[in-house]
Structure 1
Amino acid sequence: MPLNNTIAVAMSGGVDSSAVAALLHAEGRDLIGLTLQLWNQRRLAGREGMPETVQGRCCSIDDVYDARRVAEQIGIPYYLVNAQERFENEVVRPFVDEYLAGRTPIPCTLCNNHLKFDQLLLTARQIGADRIATGHYARNHYDEARERWVLSRPADKSKDQTYFLFGLTQDQLSRTLFPLGEMQKPAVRSMAADHGLELAQKPDSQEICFIPGGSYSQFLKAYLDEQGRELPDSSGELVSASGEVLGHHEGIHGFTVGQRKGLGLSSPQPLYVLNIHPDSHAVQVGTDDQLLSRTLIADRLNWVSIPEPKEEIRVTIKIRHRHEPAPATLRVTAFDRVEATFDEPQRAITPGQSAVFYQGDEVAGGGWIKAEDRA
């Protein structure tokens, strides 16, 4: 069935999505503005060390106001969609559970993979739009030879957001436009200013939308307190790579692989968290060299631009958003599981984070880091 011409623009209230709306409107497209309300920023204010007021947050009330103002300015219909319950069930609670289990989740990927695109496309169809446009820095196109939609890194590599998008399905890619994929960020701001948007110089949000100040431990305490739950006792020992007990800690939720500060240990050389063992509550620490790993295992896979490979393939892999993709050999070892061997050891491969596989600029696929072996 052919797609209709109406496009729903996902409007976050930031400069990128606002610029997309202005650009498509100037092209004469039939547009509808959509904003997902994901989290009540005042919900945990003042509880268990959380700040009394929260400003400048992604998806805040201020952002909703800015998105609505842009929609009014360019003259398109605008809808605010309450997705708070689904966001809590599919993003916040898994984040809490993962962190309590000693892993380091990445909620922005969960949000994109399991909520944003699904909910936006669902709502768009309900109001008469078959496609959505977003302000993500990414590119997509249909490859006739492969009979697949291909997701690729954008022209502006410094703003590349494909790491957070590896979970998109073929149907979602076929119905999504990334108008900023060929643009550089300074040009996007200039375009927003040319269209008279007051937020053309609005700063980009850098933090997780529901964790003001970036303090995961404070958020965990406040959220569990609100839910009437006690913070589980996961106190235990700080141990060396050889198993020597060096000290004690108050809970594994206070640590992440690669962490240096807050260990409470004195040492002639800097120590970092190497591994977190949720069963024994032991936190293993060691030197920077001991953080290096040559292999990782990933599961819960999604193959994007290629079908699941039947033999070893060469890829580059991102193990965190700001990580430069590193060359590796990838092989499928079991259903929904791969093992990657890097050409050179990588620092602080972290269970719970995403591993995204690239071939050139194309996103071959990705998964969630399960375990790793130290070099």
Structure 2
Amino acid sequence: MSSKKQRIVVGLSGGVDSAVTAHLLKAQGHEVVGIFMKNWEDDDDSEHCSSRQDFLDAASVADVLGIEIEHVNFAAEYKDRVFAEFLREYQAGRTPNPDVLCNAEIKFKAFLDHAFALGAERIATGHYARVRHNPASGLFELLKGVDASKDQSYFLHRLSQVQLARTLFPVGELHKSEVRRIAAEIKLPNAKKKDSTGICFIGERPFREFLNRYISHAPGPIVDERGRRLGRHVGLSFYTLGQRQGLGIGGVKEKGAARGSGEHAPWFVARKELATNTLHVVQGHDHPWLLSQRLTAQDASWIAGAPPAPGPCAAKTRYRQSDAACRVVQASGTDFTLEFADGQWAVTPGQSAVLYEGEVCLGGGVIAAVDDRADCSKVTVNDCD
């Protein structure tokens, strides 16, 4: 970024990454203002919601750094733009990623607008990603964070040129260990605070317990690839493809296991059939029903403003995944189709497929459909053995 001193508003979450972000920018001589975003109000006084403690931590950081902090309530915007869509997707049998939508609609839209109303020239967050201006194209690029184990570009793939031009990710240039070291060195009160995980509005409570409050559900059969009924599910919305835990079904001996060994291969969710309210499960992590080599995604968003040309690429179909070699079959402003060199495990409708060219994130979309290897009703039983 320019060496010109600027007024920069930092999203202080109460965590160590955003705290070090504010410190680094202040150390560079910028005028730094902190904003704590409250995105969820339900259960705010319960053991499951940490927003009150997070604000106290953020305020303590601001005090140590000597910067102002403002508490801003975006709960209404979050409920309308993020949570309502989250529920619609689950009710439809898909598995959405609310963090992607939260970044696009709240952290880099509502927050950005509020920051500029305060006279900010830039905003900054504690995300592990980088922004680079490409002089050849004149465009801003979203890059992976230097720390590959913490890279968050997957969650930021819906950002636009306007948003990237006004955003800084200082800790994207650092490894997490260095962020922790800096925090301890300047004696930040949250230097050793545990990283937050999971979905912000669910907190530490069991996911099924939370979802049960908002989504209607009906029990139905759990069957294997041969149509054998193994048990009953509690509602299709409570399961996701590739899920292994919480199925509540006994084992069936793995094919080929030694007689009398008593060994059972684990069961995995392979398909949710809404028309018959049936949950299909298979045994074994590498069962063909769990592998897909082609997907179609919708609601595409491209960082450059235009889709990539058909040809070789790399993509992630879930956050904690290495880039997988693939080919862009077709891509438009609204959808795209990918073919992978190798079968991808448990590709899940509702999740995001995000495209990369080296360290540059190109954009992505919401997975809508996968190839028929994930639907063995279209192949013979022998093909699925």
Same fold (TM over 0.5): yes
In 2, the alpha carbon distance for the partners of 1:41 and 1:198 equals 27
**Deviation per residue, 1:104-149 (Å, 9 max, x gap):** 1111111111211111210111111021011100011111212211
In 2, the alpha carbon distance for the partners of 1:365 and 1:207 equals 23
Instruction: Indicate the structure (1 or 2) with the bigger Cα radius of gyration.
Output: 2
Q: CA deviation at 1:69?
A: 1.7
In 2, the alpha carbon distance for the partners of 1:141 and 1:66 equals 31
In 2, the alpha carbon distance for the partners of 1:241 and 1:145 equals 53
Aligned to 2:275: 279
Aligned to 1:17: 18
In 2, the alpha carbon distance for the partners of 1:247 and 1:66 equals 46
Aligned to 1:185: 176
Residues 294-373 of structure 1: matches in 2 within 5 Å? 294-305=293-304, 307-309=306-308, 311-332=309-330, 336-373=334-371
Contact 1:299 1:337 in 2 (8 A): yes
What fraction of aligned residue pairs are identical, expressed as a percent? 38
Q: CA deviation at 1:16?
A: 0.5
In 2, the alpha carbon distance for the partners of 1:6 and 1:77 equals 12
Count of matched residue positions in the alignment of Structure 1 and Structure 2: 356
Moved more, 261-270 or 338-347: 261-270
**Deviation per residue, 1:195-223 (Å, 9 max, x gap):** 2212111111112111133522211223x
Contact 1:36 1:80 in 2 (8 A): yes
- Is 1:6 matched up with 2:7? yes
Query: TM-score normalised to the size of structure 1?
Result: 0.89
Residues 154-303 of structure 1: matches in 2 within 5 Å? 154-213=145-204, 215-222=206-213, 224=214, 231-266=215-250, 267-268=252-253, 269-287=265-283, 288=285, 289=287, 290-303=289-302
Aligned to 1:227: none
SS at match of 2:337: strand
Contact 2:307 2:332 in 1 (8 A): no
Equivalent of residue 47 in structure 2, options 33, 50, 53:
53
In 2, the alpha carbon distance for the partners of 1:204 and 1:241 equals 40
Aligned-CA RMSD value: 2.0
Q: CA deviation at 1:24?
A: 1.1
Equivalent of residue 97 in structure 1, options 88, 91, 95:
88
Query: TM-score normalised to the size of structure 2?
Result: 0.87
SS at match of 1:199: coil
Counterpart of 1:131, as a letter, is R
SS at match of 1:198: coil
In 2, the alpha carbon distance for the partners of 1:357 and 1:242 equals 36
Q: CA deviation at 1:356?
A: 0.6
Q: CA deviation at 1:232?
A: 2.3
Aligned to 1:127: 118
Q: Which sections of structure 2, spanning at least 5 residues, go unmatched?
A: 254-264, 374-385
Change in Cα spacing, 1:191 to 1:286, as seen in structure 2 (3 Å) is same
Change in Cα spacing, 1:277 to 1:360, as seen in structure 2 (3 Å) is same
Aligned to 1:26: 27
Counterpart of 1:238, as a letter, is I
